[in-house]
Amino acid sequence: MKINLATIPLSHKKVPFLTPKGKATTLGEFCIEALATSAPSDAQATLEEKMNVHRLACLLNDVGDGEATLTAEDIVLLKNRMGELFNAIVVGACIPLLDDLD
């Protein structure tokens, strides 16, 4: 499945989420943030699970604002991390973009 990391998720007000410097946050930035942030579930994660999070973060970082090819398992991991770490407005903006992948 391909994901365009440069896609700009829109809030419930139909405007982009802005960084403190006023730049629109991309889907890729949200994905990497979800992987790079320590989650409560990390305490019980196995070494293999932690290495998988690291692998996916590296892959997305290497792609930058391009298009990444992800597995169904990668998409599930991103959705779970976003659901655990982000508020409902960010989740509501990002998850549909991951659901629309072919």
pLDDT tens track for 54-96: 999 999 999 988 999 999 999 999 999 999 999 999 999 999 9
pLDDT at 78: 97
How many angstroms from the chain centroid is the CA of residue 2?
Answer: 13
∠ CA 76-32-29, rounded to 5° = 115
Domains of the chain: which residue ranges? 2-99
Q: Is the model's pLDDT at 101 over the cut of 80?
A: no
pLDDT at 99: 85
pLDDT at 102: 45
Sequence-ordered strand ranges (E) for the chain: 2-4, 67-69
Alpha helices in 1-102 (DSSP H): 27-36, 47-63, 72-85, 88-99
Enter the DSSP assignment of 12.
T
How, if at all, do strands 67-69 and 2-4 pair? antiparallel
| Residue pLDDT, tens place only, 26-62 | 999 999 999 999 999 999 999 999 999 999 999 999 9
